[in-house]
Amino acid sequence: MRVINSEFPDVPVPDSAQIPVMKDRPNGNIERDMHGYVFHDACLNLLEEATVSRTVDPYRLYWICRSLPFPGRSIGVSWGHDYGGLSEIDFENQHHYPWEDRFIQQHKESEILQYAHSNPYWIDELDDCISANRDPDSQPKYLEWAGTDSRNCFSALPWEIRETIARYLPIKDVLSLAKSSKAFLPILSDQTYWASAFDYDAECDFLFEAPRIRESCEVDWIAIYKRTMYLKDIPGLENRKRIWIIVKEIAKLLELHPPFRNPDYDGDDCTFVDEIDDWWEVEDQDPGLRKWKVEADIKPTALRNEWFYEGCRLLYEQVAPIPEDLVSIAFSIAVAGNTEYLAGMRFISEDGSSIQLGYRNMYEEHYHEVTALKGFIIAIGSRGFHGLRVLGADGSISRWFGSPKDSPVTERLEDIDSASVLKIGFDVMSTLLGIL
């Protein structure tokens, strides 16, 4: 087992060290003494491959795991998914409300167990599968249909546009399209198209070894696809495809930028909850504060994992003013399992400066133009905000940022135009609490 010190990754951990993990009780204060979460080494390698930087920050990964509940019957933290079929989740909401944690139990007789024990990273069969060279005597088929002489309506489009259309479709739909429209028949023998199927974020990107041989013009991408996509012949690759979907979600969570590491951040630094003096006492002294408050099912920060089986932990809080020269708000969304969460927001001023609350998705933000706020409508679940609508002082109502699906919706913050300061509490991936 590889042991990584989340605070100092380059400092080796002694082999003799006894580190409590998962539901084991830490020795003393959990914030100061060693505690960890078990990750399969192969899964950690896959996670590194799934990140844009090809590296994993162990400190951030630890705190993401620290934010997640640990259901009583589970062998790991609850990410909100069923581990690709290994766990039973009450997705039909037969015994739970839709916004609750719905873990039931581990599957003991799942068909997935037939390959779930196969190593998903080191796969011996892949060397032969990705070494297919193109036959120099072979000729692309159906080239005559790549032109514009056919009466087929798609034939009026240049071939490059048809190929681009195909890249945005699932492969099974492309094959169906080729059967129904001769204008797409050349796709079946187009090496450029089949090579693109292995690009990052494409349908076959879990075969991340393939793009590394792209420089060779002799690679037969069609043969590689045929050899590797019949997954039952390669149990390790079938297991990788299951895990790859999961680690890509984790990779996106790792890439969320916290405000205290953002050089453009203009607001107050985030503060650890443990550093906030008399957090709950201050709240009790001012009962009027409660009418402005919306929160998830927040558990005590020091609650041990053995009792933390649902809800969320409040790990940080942040206070920032609402700019007087506000022109727009940018929202960042995180996905965990089947649920979207509001990870953070930025208040953008006329001069382009911004105040960041929570986390920022540097690759995708959703913008809403507004110059004066009246309030918010919020969809909330047990782990945080699922979605939010902005109410403008001019009576405008924005679309949903995030999703209200299967979530309670509150209008408690719909009339806050007199407020000038926003206080947000959050864990390591989503917004939990709002006080104005």
Contact indicator for 372, 337 with CB cutoff of 8 Å: no
Q: What single DSSP character describes residue 371?
A: S
275 and 406 both lie in a single domain: yes
> What contacts 300, CB < 8 A, 6 or more positions away?
313
What distance in Å separates the CA atoms of residue 67 and residue 311, rounded to the nearest whole number? 9
247 and 265 both lie in a single domain: no
Number of domains in the chain: 3
User: Higher confidence at residue 32 or residue 238?
Assistant: 238
User: Higher confidence at residue 3 or residue 65?
Assistant: 65
277 has pLDDT over 70: no
66 and 100 both lie in a single domain: yes
Q: Within 13 A of 297's CA, how many CA atoms are on the CB side? A: 13
Range from 53-62, 223-232, 267-276, 380-389 carrying the lowest mean pLDDT:
267-276
- Bridge partners of 360, per DSSP, are 257
What distance in Å separates the CA atoms of residue 67 and residue 254, rounded to the nearest whole number? 13
378 has pLDDT over 70: yes
Amino acid at 105: Q
79 and 209 both lie in a single domain: no
Contact indicator for 19, 27 with CB cutoff of 8 Å: no
Contact indicator for 413, 322 with CB cutoff of 8 Å: no
The residue from 220, 255, 290 where one domain ends is 255
Q: Which two tokens stand for residue 84?
A: 């690709």
Predicted structure pTM score: 0.77
238 and 370 both lie in a single domain: no
Nearest in space to 340 (alpha carbons), one of 366, 322, 320: 366
Contact indicator for 121, 241 with CB cutoff of 8 Å: no
At residue 365, the pLDDT reads 93
pLDDT over 70 percentage in the chain: 71
Q: What single DSSP character describes residue 331?
A: E
CATH number at residue 322: 2.100.10.30
What is the tens place of the pLDDT at every residue in 29-54? 544 556 788 888 999 999 999 987 77
What distance in Å separates the CA atoms of residue 81 and residue 69, rounded to the nearest whole number? 13
11 and 85 both lie in a single domain: yes
> How close are the terminal C-alpha atoms of the chain, in Å?
46
241 and 203 both lie in a single domain: no
At residue 150, the pLDDT reads 59
What distance in Å separates the CA atoms of residue 82 and residue 330, rounded to the nearest whole number? 31
At residue 217, the pLDDT reads 64
395 and 314 both lie in a single domain: yes
245 and 275 both lie in a single domain: no
Q: Which two tokens stand for residue 302?
A: 């020091």
Contact indicator for 316, 229 with CB cutoff of 8 Å: no
Q: What single DSSP character describes residue 21?
A: B
- Write a three-state SS string for the chain: CCCCCCCCCCCCCCCCCCCCECCCCCCCCCCCCCCECCCCHHHHHHHHHHCCCCCCCHHHHHHHHHHCCCCCCCCCCCCCCCCCCCEEECCCCCCCCCCCCCEEEECCCCCCHHHHCCCCCCCCCHHHHCCCECCCCCCCCCHHHHCCCCCCHHHHCCHHHHHHHHHCCCHHHHHHHHHHCHHHHHHHHCHHHHHHCCCCCCCCCCCCCHHHHCCCCCECHHHHHHHHCCHHHCHHHHHHHHHHHHHHHHHHHHCCECHHHCCCECCCCCEEHHHCCCHHHHHHHCHHHHHHCEECCEECCCCCHHHCCCCEECCEEEEEECCCCEEEEEEEEEEECCEEEEEEEEEEECCCCEEEEECECCCCCEEEECCCEEEEEEEEECCEEEEEEEEECCCCECCCEECCCCCCEECCCCCCCCCCEEEEEECCCCEEEEEC
243 and 354 both lie in a single domain: no
User: Higher confidence at residue 208 or residue 103?
Assistant: 208
The residue from 204, 222, 255 where one domain ends is 255
Nearest in space to 121 (alpha carbons), one of 229, 9, 252, 241: 241
Nearest in space to 386 (alpha carbons), one of 341, 427, 332: 341
What is the tens place of the pLDDT at every residue in 336-366? 877 888 988 899 999 988 888 888 888 889 9
* Domain region containing 218: 129-233
223 and 276 both lie in a single domain: no
What is the tens place of the pLDDT at every residue in 166-180? 999 999 999 999 888
Radius of gyration for the alpha carbons in the chain, expressed in angstroms and rounded: 25
102 and 205 both lie in a single domain: no
Give the residue-averaged pLDDT of 93-98. 59
